[in-house]
Amino acid sequence: MSRIEACFAQLKQQNRAALVTFVTSGDPNYSSAMQIFKGLPDAGADVIELGMPFTDPMADGPAIQLANQRALKNGHTLRKTLQMVREFRQDNQSTPVVLMGYFNPIHHYGVDNFVRDAHEVGVDGLIVVDVPPEHNEELCEPAQAAGIDFIRLATPTTDDQRLPKVLNHSSGFIYYVSVAGITGGATASLEHVEEAVARLRHHSDLPVCIGFGIRTAEHAANVARLADGVVVGSALVDKINQAATPEQAVADVLAQCREISTGVRGARL
């Protein structure tokens, strides 16, 4: 059983949803990003998505675009992202780590080299938003052959005809983008979330995690009652954008994670 499977199985026994957190690797700098990364599990994160900085993150809103720019300006690379996972695994062998981003840096690194190195340092899953299922052989199949889950995004515009193809060879969990648009934007109604979860469960047995626009403990709790996981990203990255110092960024991100975790963990009590 993979770390992702084990995590969701354990949470199902506890009758609660997962808190899936997103931060950009190398933001605001390597040292502070590492402190945030290592601190997230104790702050309540069950799964950590680690963004791979890229110059053109077209699916992301202003907050995460700025995070990418800060990391790249400080010389962060995909190799350094993998090094962060290696350091994280020295102290934590249980929390699933998913790398999220775009195909260009992976292509530049070399797919075979990337898959080998990602597996070696302890990466559990990949979310690569610009590799469609028609190109599974490019990355999805090599990753899964190495034991790394390939997690697909589904959106409000993914209809029932398209959905089976999107979920083909998907593994780990389904990331449902609850609104059409970029990260950090509007929020979906709970009625829409409930309908979407039911539709996705009709097509797949994988856990369903809901993301985009979740910013408060109350909102996270409401979504956690309907889905298997709640994804929070921009709300955390915003704390880095707003912090006066890297030290404040670390403290504020972890405090925000703890607050949202309280909502998720109390949702089904």
DSSP 8-state secondary structure symbol assigned to residue 152: P
Ramachandran assignment for 83, one of left (phi > 0), alpha (psi -120 to 50 degrees), beta (any other) = alpha
60 is catalytic: yes
List 46, 49, 149, 252, catalytic entry: 49
Both tokens of residue 192?
Answer: 């829409």
Task: Give backbone dihedrals phi and psi of 238, rounded to 5 degrees, phi first.
Answer: -60, -35
List 46, 60, 238, 252, catalytic entry: 60
49 is catalytic: yes
The Cβ-side half-sphere exposure at 184, using a 13 Å CA radius, reads 19
CB 233 within 8 A of CB 213: no
| CA nearest neighbour of 66 among 82, 55, 76, 75 | 55
Please give the positions annotated as active site. 49, 60
